[in-house]
Amino acid sequence: MTQDHSAFSYEAMLGEYPDTMVSFGAGSITELYCYVLQNRINSAMLFAGGTSSANRSMGAVQSLFVDNPEFDLRLYAGIPPEPTVEDVRKMRAALEQSKPEIVIAVGGGSVMDAAKAAYLSMQTESDVNELFGVNTASTRFPEKEFKRIICIPTTSGTGSEVTPYSNIVDPESGVKKLIMEKQIIPSHAFVDPVLTHSMPQDLTVTTALDAFVHCIESVLNYRAENAHPDSVEWGLEGIRLIAQALPVVLKEPGNYIARTKLSAAAVLGGMCIRNRPTSLPHLCSFSFYGKVPHGVAVAALLPPFWQYYLESPEVRDITMKMSGIFSKEPEQTAEEIVKNCADFIAACKGPAKLSDLGCDRSIIAKVAGDAVQNPMKLQSCPRPVEPANAAEIITVILEKAW
């Protein structure tokens, strides 16, 4: 596998991110307490999930405040995976009741996404349904600066701790809806890889694959505008870290160095997609919601769409930057890199082909039909797809990859 190209250079990269103050490493959550003291904060709402590991993580945060009985720490646990608009409404009600000075989300992407939506909903006095879309709140309130949440991630995947995205399920339509809003980018992320040690293997794989695909899709997205000049390097580093660390963690779940690399890669992936967004693999993954874990779906969809993008000379050039990451022998062609990447995904207990997702082949028609609903994404991807031809093109790509 790949050489340790730039040991620990990710720490410098995490410090470059202009949108979120990232504190990274073992014990970094203690810096939350310093932040609270320095800013004379007296109250907080702590949002968390409902699992035993969520309880442990919440306990770790609570323990920071045991010597400060004056501090008003409210706990709201039990946020489910795939939170719905109704979950967000309940969280908003809790915030309105306690009016905390800061909001802290401890958990995976679901908890962080729901906390972002609830805090924005409270501050805009808007139902969450009115916030879906691109910069809806900041367009409606152009003069207003909203307070942003603080995140303590306990998985290494979504990168939600640094992104402007919040995915919430609307049970009425049965689809996941997206808030994309610069004003929900968390202000601080305290990323302690120790909190990820108890992740079971399937969650480790699905979250790592999600981060992996974030980094690759972002690197490939050379058409993104106004991206941070270092965002390609962030993505390449994230890919290297996962290529090194995921096979190690699968053999030794408690390997601290490898877990640390996965945590760093997840943050880098979030930093990347804030600057150079994801494209067709992520767009098409939403049709698998409720059937296949997100990270597994995007990992199956990446190789076929990457192959499709290779018609673009710019994508070929940028693909060659990954030469030597997935193989000891640096690859000589872009096609070899895509193939070795697909083999890496399969070797890490990910899907080898689309049929491994366990869905009926008829889902291809649904994927193609759903994708057509998002012409903006189709036209902004590395090899643009005309909306009129999109259903046919996507069908051919997925049929070939089945």
Selected range binding Fe ion among 82-90, 209-217, 252-260, 393-401, rule: CB under 5 A: 209-217
Selected range binding Fe ion among 91-99, 168-176, 206-214, 307-315, rule: CB under 5 A: 206-214
CA–CA distance from 185 to each of 148, 224, 339, 375 (Å)? 7, 19, 35, 25
What is the smallest separation between the CB atom of 109 and Fe ion, expressed in angstroms? 8
Instruction: Tell me the three state secondary structure of residue 191.
Output: strand
Whether 20 contacts 189, CB under 8 Å: yes
Among the listed residues 299, 184, 324, the one whose alpha carbon sits nearest the alpha carbon of residue 244: 324
Q: CB-based contacts of 235: which residues, under 8 Å, 6+ apart?
A: 215, 216, 218, 219, 268, 269, 272, 276
DSSP notation for 29-47? THHHHHHHHHTT--EEEEE
Selected range binding Fe ion among 86-94, 208-216, 333-341, 366-374, rule: CB under 5 A: 208-216
What is the smallest separation between the CB atom of 175 and Fe ion, expressed in angstroms? 16
Interface mask (CB under 5 A) for Fe ion, residues 286-305, using x and -?
A: --------------------
What is the smallest separation between the CB atom of 282 and Fe ion, expressed in angstroms? 6
181 forms part of the interface with Fe ion (CB under 5 A): no
CA 178 vs. chain centroid, Å, equals 13
User: Which residue is at the shortest CB distance from Fe ion?
Assistant: 210
What is the smallest separation between the CB atom of 256 and Fe ion, expressed in angstroms? 25
DSSP notation for 54-72? HHHHHHHHHHHTTT-TTSE
Give the nearer residue to Fe ion in terms of CB position, either 186 or 324: 186
Round to whole Å and give the CA distance between 62 and 139: 37
Report the residue from 19, 87, 113, 210 that binds Fe ion according to the rule CB under 5 A. Answer: 210
Give the nearer residue to Fe ion in terms of CB position, either 124 or 279: 279
Round to whole Å and give the CA distance between 198 and 53: 7
What is the smallest separation between the CB atom of 48 and Fe ion, expressed in angstroms? 21
- # residues contacting Fe ion (CB under 5 A): 1
Residues β-bridged to residue 151: 105, 189
Give the nearer residue to Fe ion in terms of CB position, either 210 or 233: 210
Give the nearer residue to Fe ion in terms of CB position, either 113 or 210: 210
Give the nearer residue to Fe ion in terms of CB position, either 20 or 123: 20
Give the nearer residue to Fe ion in terms of CB position, either 46 or 301: 301
Q: CB-based contacts of 287: which residues, under 8 Å, 6+ apart?
A: 363, 366, 367, 370, 371
Give the nearer residue to Fe ion in terms of CB position, either 20 or 163: 163
Residues β-bridged to residue 47: 76, 105
What is the smallest separation between the CB atom of 254 and Fe ion, expressed in angstroms? 26
Helix or strand holding residue 105 (H, E): strand 102-107
What is the smallest separation between the CB atom of 231 and Fe ion, expressed in angstroms? 16
Give the nearer residue to Fe ion in terms of CB position, either 193 or 295: 295
What is the smallest separation between the CB atom of 110 and Fe ion, expressed in angstroms? 12
Phi, psi of 64, deg, nearest 5: -65, -25
Selected range binding Fe ion among 58-66, 205-213, 233-241, 334-342, rule: CB under 5 A: 205-213
For residue 35, the one-letter residue type is Y
Whether 330 contacts 5, CB under 8 Å: no
- Residue count (the chain): 402
What is the smallest separation between the CB atom of 166 and Fe ion, expressed in angstroms? 13
Selected range binding Fe ion among 127-135, 146-154, 207-215, 381-389, rule: CB under 5 A: 207-215
Selected range binding Fe ion among 12-20, 202-210, 313-321, 347-355, rule: CB under 5 A: 202-210
Phi, psi of 76, deg, nearest 5: -135, 100
* Residues of this chain that bind Fe ion (CB under 5 A): 210
